[in-house]
Amino acid sequence: MFHIIFISLYFFINILEKENLRKGIIFGVFGTILVGLQPIVINLSPERIDAYIFAAMTVIIEALIFFPLMMIERSKIRSNYRKELITIEEMDSFLNGYKRNKLLLIFVGCAFGFGMILFFIGYQLAGAINGSLAQKATIFFSLLFGWLILHEKITKKQILFSGILFLGLILAVTQGSFNILEINVGVLVLLLLSGIWMFTHSLTKPILDKNEATPIQMVFIRNAVGGVILISTYFLFFPLENIKLLLDLVNIFWFCAMGTVYSIGLFCWYKTLAYLDVNKASLLYSPTLIITAIFSTILLRELFTILHLIGTIIIILSIIMIVREKKG
Give residue-wise pLDDT tens across range 104-152.
999 999 999 999 999 999 999 999 999 999 998 988 998 899 899 988 8
In a domain, 3, yes or no: no
Is residue 199 scored above 70 in pLDDT? Answer: yes
Question: How far is it, in rounded angstroms, from Cα 115 to Cα 249?
Answer: 26
Structure confidence at residue 195 as a pLDDT band (50, 70, 90): very high
42 within 8 A of 123, measured Cβ to Cβ:
yes
Model pLDDT, residue 181: 77
Residues 191 and 103 in one domain: yes
Percentage of the residues of the chain whose pLDDT score is greater than 70: 92
pLDDT given for residue 18 in this prediction: 64
For the stretch 80-103, pLDDT in tens is: 999 888 899 999 999 998 889 999
Same domain, 82 and 193: yes
- 7, pLDDT greater than 70: no
pLDDT tens digits along 268-279:
888 887 787 766
Q: How many domains does the chain have?
A: 2
Could you say which of 275, 300, 317 is where a domain stops? 275
At 172, is the pLDDT very low, low, confident or very high (cuts 50, 70, 90)?
very high
C-beta contacts of 12-21 below 8 A and 24+ residues apart: 20/275, 20/276, 21/275, 21/276
Are residues 193 and 305 located together in one domain of the fold?
no
Task: Examine the domain organization and report whether 267 and 283 are in the same domain.
Answer: no
Residues 226 and 307 in one domain: no
Rounded distance between C-alpha atoms, residue 278 and residue 269, angstroms: 10
Q: What is the mean pLDDT of residues 189-198?
A: 93
Query: Sorting pLDDT into bands at 50, 70 and 90, what band is 5?
Result: very low
Q: How many other C-beta atoms lie within 10 A of the C-beta of residue 241?
A: 8
Contacts 24+ apart (CB under 8 A), 167-170: 167/314, 168/310, 168/311, 168/312, 168/313, 168/314, 168/315, 168/318, 169/133, 169/134, 169/136, 169/137, 169/311, 169/315
Give the confidence band of 3 by pLDDT, cuts at 50, 70, 90: very low
For residue 10, pLDDT over 50 is answered with no
Average pLDDT over residues 261-267: 91
Tens of pLDDT, residues 279-305: 677 777 878 888 899 999 999 999 999
Kindly state whether residues 194 and 269 are assigned to the same domain.
yes
- Dist. CA 243–CA 231, nearest whole Å: 11
> What length does the chain have?
328
> Is residue 1 scored above 50 in pLDDT?
no
Does the pLDDT of residue 59 top 90, yes or no? yes
Amino acid at 273: L
Angle between the N-to-C axes of helices 156-173 and 306-327, in degrees from 0 to 180, rounded to the nearest 10: 160
- Residue 118: the pLDDT is 96
Q: Do 173 and 248 share a structural domain?
A: no
Which CA distances in Å does 190 have to 187, 194, 230?
Answer: 5, 6, 19
Q: Mean pLDDT throughout 29-45?
A: 92
CA distance 28 to 71: 24
User: What per-residue confidence (pLDDT) applies to 326?
Assistant: 61
Tally Cβ neighbours within 10 Å of residue 243. 12
Q: Say what the pLDDT of residue 115 is.
A: 94
Give exposure, 204-236, as e/b (b: 16+ Cβ within 10 Å). bbebeeeebbbbbbbbbbbbbbbbbbbbeebee
Q: What is the pLDDT of residue 9?
A: 32
Residue 318 and residue 189 in one domain: no
- 3-state DSSP call for residue 221? helix
Q: Look up the domain containing 58 and give its range.
A: 49-127+185-275
Q: Is residue 27 part of a domain?
A: no
From the list 63, 14, 37, the residue with the least C-alpha distance to 222 is: 63
Q: Is residue 188 over pLDDT 60?
A: yes
Q: Do 264 and 311 belong to one domain?
A: no
Q: What pLDDT, on a 0 to 100 scale, did the predictor assign at position 170?
A: 94
Question: For residue 144, is it within any domain?
Answer: no
